[in-house]
Amino acid sequence: MRRSLLKIALVTALAAASIPASVLAQEAQTTGDEWDAWDDFEEVEEVSPFTWAGFGEIALGQRLQDDPALAADKTLRDLRVQLQADYTLEASTLAFRGDLYYDGVLDSVKVQIREAAWQGNLAFLGEWGSKFDAKIGQQVLTWGTGDYVFLNDMFPKDYQSFFAGRDDEYLKAPSLSAKLSGYFDWANVDIVVTPQFEPDNGINGEYFSFFNPQFGMNVAPEFDVLDKNEPDNAEWALRVYKTVGQTEFAFYGYRGYNKTPMAADEQGLPRYSRLNVWGASAVKPFGPGLAKAEYAYHDAIEDSDGTNPLVPNSQHRFLVGYEQELIANLTGSVQWYAEQMVDHDAMMANSYWPQYEQEESRHVVTTQLMYRALRQTLTLNWFNFYSPTDDDGYMKFRATYSPVDDWQVNGGFNLFYGDEPHTFYSQFQDASNVYASFRYFY
């Protein structure tokens, strides 16, 4: 047995001796490369499912003229920190966006949770569930085709932030909602349920005064809607959309309440009235640009014949728009928007202040020019609203400069103009302001 093992060892040694050195070197190199590759594999760091970012910002705004109803000349004094955090699960995501800021206009510290939601596909429910995505929690929602003009978008807005010069992201206010999106061959469907009504953050005398027909002048006592006049019922919103050829069609529905307290109770105190909205839109390429059209019917459920002066009348709303690149880096757009009052004669016959009521047809034309320069680091955005029926308007300009990813500077103005003190834009003439901000990203 030992002699057999010895023979095998000798044969193996002789075979190895007969192999050229180059082959042995090659095998050694291969073995070394395999070990090196294994070492590299061990050095690869595992990607974390958690990511976070944010920014710090300081923003200042000043009124261009005195407002007799407000003693303060400051319109914006923000010291803000935002935290953004995302956690990726196996088939879904947890997202958080929160702001902590000091509001120097109101001399108060505020917290706003803009997003705290779970989002994912419902494939765990079976084959049919894979056709649906869901997003549940605090979130910012939007749809429709208008630029700064909203027909079917009944999600909450923050007009105080918009008029003060905060970033456009703050025009859209968050709501605690559940959104279900379904994707089918015949169409895509979005259903949004907000369990408790979420109103706009409108002009209520905190930052800017507003016209009060009872006194025939602007007033600025900060007011809150009483709990009994603020609904605690749910809101429902629906969108069905599909692209046919090059045209995207959408149909909308909403069941809820007016987002601003335009109605009043028997004591004359502001309240939110019931409202249903139905509409449609279309967007398609046209020539060198993009054309869009949208319609909405705002149905005042509590005043079907327009005779109740304490409830705003129903309205038809129309929008037609077009945008295109005019020259390199310069984009232009124009929109025509109209509101057609239903039962206008009945409203005028029953109004407490008919001299201040809106025209039966109100028209607004918007124009926009956006220019990008210095290798896209500088953006100039000019936007103008003009109402030929009210002979008033609102011009806003914003310049954004961000030469590096770490910081950004913004500046601009909001200018309101008009002749009649009670029309929509003209009532805010004393709110005209200039602003500037610096934002540092981390």
Q: Note whether 35 and 118 are same-domain residues.
A: no
| CA pair distance 35, 30, nearest whole angstrom | 9
* CA angle (268 as vertex; 265, 272 as ends), nearest 5: 45
The share of the chain scoring above pLDDT 70, in percent, equals: 90
Q: Which of 142-146, 213-217, 357-361, 415-419 shows the lowest per-residue confidence on average (mean pLDDT)?
A: 213-217
Q: State whether 4 and 49 are in the same domain.
A: no
How many structural domains does the chain have? Answer: 2
Instruction: Specify the range with the lowest mean pLDDT, choosing from 6-10, 181-185, 379-383, 418-422.
Output: 6-10
Contact 87, 94 (CB under 8 A): yes
At residue 31, the pLDDT reads: 41
Range of the domain at 32: 1-44
The SS3 call for residue 16 is: helix
Q: Alpha-carbon distance 238 to 253, whole Å? A: 5
Same domain assignment for residues 329 and 354: yes
Residue 11 CB: number of other CB atoms within 10 A?
Answer: 10
The answer on 401 and 304 residing in a single domain is: yes
Task: Report whether 73 contacts 224 (CB < 8 A).
Answer: no
Contacts of 431 (CB under 8 A, 6+ apart): 63, 67, 75, 163, 207, 208, 209, 414, 416
| Residues 146 and 181 placed together within one structural domain of the fold | yes
Q: What confidence tier does 237 reach under pLDDT thresholds 50, 70, 90? A: very high
List pLDDT tens digits, range 176-209. 999 999 999 999 999 999 999 999 999 999 999 9
Q: Who has greater pLDDT, 27 or 89?
A: 89
Do 86 and 24 share a structural domain?
Answer: no
- Over residues 265-271, the mean pLDDT reads 92
pLDDT confidence of residue 44: 58
Residue that is written with structure tokens 């400069």 in the block: 401
Same-domain status, 181 and 155: yes
> For position 345, what pLDDT does the model report?
96
319 contacts 335 by C-beta, under 8 angstroms: yes
Question: Of 133, 47, 129, 46, nearest to 92 (Cα)?
Answer: 133
pLDDT value of residue 41: 46
Report pLDDT for 21: 36
Tell me, yes or no, whether 347 and 428 share the same domain.
yes
| pLDDT more than 90, % of the chain | 86
Residue 279 has pLDDT above 70, yes or no: yes
Residue 43 pLDDT level (bands cut at 50, 70, 90): low
Q: For residue 246, what is the domain's CATH number? A: 2.40.160.100
* Cα of 118 vs its chain's centroid, Å: 18
* Tokens linked to 70: 């407000």
Two structure tokens written together for 117: 């939601």
Residues 28 and 143 in one domain: no
Query: Is pLDDT at 6 greater than 60 in this prediction?
Result: no
Distance CA 290, CA 392 (A): 28
Whole-prediction pTM: 0.87
Whole-angstrom Cα distance, residue 414 to residue 11?
A: 95
Q: Bridge partners of 322?
A: 291, 334
Asked if residue 92 and residue 21 are part of one domain, the reply reads: no
Of the two residues 211 and 14, the one the predictor is more confident about is 211
Q: 232 and 312 share a domain? A: yes
Q: pLDDT for 110-161, tens place per residue?
A: 999 999 999 999 999 999 999 999 999 999 999 999 999 999 999 999 999 9
| Contact between residue 174 and residue 161 where contact means Cβ atoms under 8 Å apart | no
Residue from 315, 397, 322 nearest 365 by CA? 322
Q: What is the mean pLDDT of residues 166-178?
A: 98
pLDDT, position 45: 66
In tens, the pLDDT along 375-412 reads 999 999 999 999 999 999 999 999 999 999 999 999 99
62 and 37 in a single domain? The answer is: no
In the structure, what pLDDT confidence band is assigned to residue 222 with cuts at 50, 70 and 90?
A: confident
Report which of 68, 321, 83, 57 is spatially closest to residue 165, judged by C-alpha positions: 57
Indicate whether 236 pLDDT > 70. yes
Amino acid at 206: E
- Give tens-digit pLDDT for 45-85: 678 999 999 999 999 999 999 999 998 899 999 999 999 99
